[in-house]
Amino acid sequence: MIIEDFVKFINDVSKENASEDYWYDVGVDEAQNMLKEFSREDWSLLRKLIKDKPVEWQKKVIYSFDGENAEQEIRAIFNVISTEDRELFEMCIDSLRCLVNEKTKSLILERPELLEKVQSLMFENNSITQKVYMDFLEKIKT
């Protein structure tokens, strides 16, 4: 299964001495290509694994989502979105914002507590994060 290769790859690029330049220049594309090959079973395993991984690992995975498997990606995001890590939460909302479409909107609307949290945090953030949150809420409500 491709999940083993994906986990190993994310482990490698999440290490303390891993190059951030490599991640943004090459690694993201490699991760996205692996995700495109995921089966339903791989997605199910990722959803289980992601909860117990370090925050940096979770961030790499969330950053890799490109909408190719939007419903599966949203379900994986839901497994980490209750994080206390502010940056990871913002990344989750930014990813969800890009994954919203007519088919996936209902998944997000089933979580009114998430929408309430975004609304409550919206004005506690810088203007860029505010815009991300506002755009997310707009896409959900339209």
Average pLDDT over residues 32-40: 96
Q: Which residues contact 112 (CB under 8 A, 6 or more apart)?
A: none
pLDDT in tens, 57-101: 999 999 999 998 999 999 999 999 999 999 999 999 999 999 999
Which residue is it, tokens 């997310």?
A: 136
Average pLDDT over residues 25-48: 96
Using alpha carbons only, give the angle 128, 131, 137 rounded to the nearest 5 degrees.
145
**Which CATH number is 81's domain given?**
1.25.10.10
Instruction: Report residue 54 as tokens.
Output: 């370090």
Confidence at residue 20, expressed as pLDDT on a 0 to 100 scale: 87
Please give the tally of structural domains in the chain.
Answer: 1
Confidence at residue 2, expressed as pLDDT on a 0 to 100 scale: 93
Number of Cα atoms under 13 Å in the Cβ half of residue 109: 12
Query: What rounded mean pLDDT belongs to the chain?
Result: 93
* Domain of 78, in residue numbers: 2-141
Question: Quick one: pLDDT band at residue 21, thresholds 50, 70, 90?
Answer: confident
Percent share of the chain, pLDDT over 70: 100
Confidence at residue 122, expressed as pLDDT on a 0 to 100 scale: 84
pLDDT over 80 at 125, yes or no: no
